[in-house]
Every structure is written in C-alpha cells, then in structure tokens.
Amino acid sequence: MTSVRTDLAVEAKEIYEQQNQGGISGVEINEYIENGMKVTDVRIVDEIGEKNMGKPIGKYITIDMPEFVHYDKDIMDDVSKGLAKTLSGIIKLDKSMTALVVGLGNWNVTPDALGPKVISRLMVTRHLKELVPDSIDENIRPVCAMSPGVLGITGIETGEIIKSVADKIKPNLIICIDALASRKTERVNTTIQIGDSGISPGSGIGNKRMEISKRTLGIPVIAIGVPTVVHAATLANDTIDLAIDEMINQSTEGSGFYNMLKSLDKGEKERLINEVLHPYVGDLVVTPKEVDMVIDSISKVIANGINIALQPALNLEDINKYVN
C-alpha cells in the first residue's frame, strides 16, 4: 500500500481495495446499522492483514455520525449511547476495577484539543471511592483521568507520563482519546474510531511518538479518535480528481483526450502533488472554520459515551447531573 497518511482503518481498507482491486487477506470486515448510524467493524487478524493494512493486529470499529449531530442535542445523546454500546462490548471490567482515561493532545490548539476537552467532561470517581466510600453507590466504578499535554509543552514523552502514572495507580484499563487525521474530507469531524490495539500519538500528521499500547504498558488500551484535520495535499488531489472526472464525462469516448485522461495513474498524480506542494506548504493540515463549536460538541458526545460505558449502573440523565 502506498504511503497515504490516515489514522482510520476503514480508509486503509478502502485504499488497499482501490490499489489491489480485491479483498484483503488477514482482514475481516463487517458493516451494520446501529441506532441509525453506519458502523464498520474492521478486524486485522494476523500478520498478513497487519502488513496489508499498515496497522497492528486488533479490532477497529468506525461509527459514522449523523449529519446534524453538532446542532441537535437528541442526536448527540443517541450517538453517545451508540458509542457506549460499542465500548461496552470491548471493555472487560468488574465494577471494582479501575479505568484510567487519558486525553491526548495540545489544549492550546483547537483541532488537537479533543482529548483534554473530553477529560473536562468526564465523570471521575476514583477519589470518591477511596475517600468517601460510604457516600457513593457501590456500583459506581472507580475512574480517574488525566491530560498529559504534548512533548513540545512538557518536554516529556506522553507515553512516559502515562506509564509512570499507570505504574503508580495500577489501573485495569486505559482509554485514550485523540484527534486523528483523515484521508477524506467528508470524514473530518463526522467519524469516531474505536480500537483495541493502542495508539501512536501524532502518527496521522507524520509526528509519530511513543506507542501507547498493551505491549508498552502491560495494560489493555482502548483508543478513541475523531479525525479533525485533513492534509492540504489531499484536498488538492481530490479537487483535481473531481476536475478529471468531469472532463472525462464531457469528452467523447474513444477520443485522444478521453484516452489520455482515462490512462492517468492516480497514484503517480498524488505523489506528484505532494512533491510540488511540499516546498511551499510543507505538511500543512486543514480544519473547518467552525472547529471550535465542533470540537466542543464532539467532546460532549465522546465524554458521555465513555461515562455511560464505564458507569452502567447510571443512565445518561444521572450522569449529566454529576458532570454538568
């Protein structure tokens, strides 16, 4: 598979299928509808699938959010409940076990502030279970949370901070939330990916940091991410593809111009665009102008989804009383 930067397994699958015109060995795919939302379950089951997809063995579940999720509270709640249902199928914890939720990203950069914003809306209970156990329902699970910042702010690898905290408090599960990069403009701020193979912060924008996974921490890690940016080269490439398709439709089939357009190698074209743009814009990434509002609404959706999944003894109304 050619080097196309995307954090989404569903896009890696699509890219492989486009380039190889067939199914993917070592990968199992299941698509279904949940609460009116399209869900794509991609499972990389062996080393062949790992090589083909360019991602570690594991489960990657993608939820496509409805169009008006950022403007309608009822839709936001429905997406939160759908996310919670998906997470509940992955989370394997007794009510006494501790979960550590980590908000990755830079809170000073809005498209990268998703993780810290989710943490600010999370229902944290570990301190209550320890300090006032008689005043809290025994069915409430101990949950703690942190936003460790990024290497440029702290001078410390995020993975090192998480490992140090995990070694001290010994959680049974770590959930990481991070902003991702997408290959397709239409997936920006509209898709949630849940994976059980961990995460490498910054990989989508070519700034891969220390891996956060069961392999490096010795604790199961669930990663939740939303693509909030797309590469400028991707926008340029997609625009040219649309222009070429339109010219093909308006050309006479069999003509020299038509044949030339049909014979264009899209992979070579994409590489050329990257080479031409890089000296001028570098690794420029783009985000929608309403990103402040979008990050705010998505953080609520994800926080409530995690809250519901980690506290099955409570409903969303009870959780909202606690966190709002």
Predicted local distance difference test score (pLDDT) of residue 266: 66
Q: What is the arithmetic mean of pLDDT over 100-106? A: 96
Predicted local distance difference test score (pLDDT) of residue 203: 54
Q: Which residue has the tokens 């093909």?
A: 248
Predicted local distance difference test score (pLDDT) of residue 1: 43
Which residues, 6+ apart, have CB-to-CB distance to 60 below 8 Å? 8, 9, 10, 41, 42, 43, 44, 193, 194, 195, 197
Strand partners, 223: 176, 195
Domain ranges (residues) in the chain:
9-233+284-323, 234-281
Cβ-based burial of 261 (10 A; exposed 0-12, middle 13-18, buried ≥19): middle
- Cα(178)–Cα(199) distance, integer angstroms: 9
Look at residue 125 and give its three-state secondary structure.
coil
Q: What is the arithmetic mean of pLDDT over 111-136? A: 91
What does the pLDDT look like over 259-309, one tens digit per residue? Answer: 776 677 766 777 777 777 777 776 788 888 899 999 999 999 999 999 999
Work out the pLDDT band at 132, boundaries 50, 70, 90.
confident
What does the pLDDT look like over 32-76, one tens digit per residue? Answer: 998 789 999 999 999 999 998 888 999 999 999 998 888 899 999
Q: What is the arithmetic mean of pLDDT over 207-215? A: 80
> With contact defined as beta carbons under 8 Å apart, do 113 and 106 qualify?
yes
Predicted local distance difference test score (pLDDT) of residue 267: 66
Just give the CATH number of 9-233+284-323.
3.40.50.1450
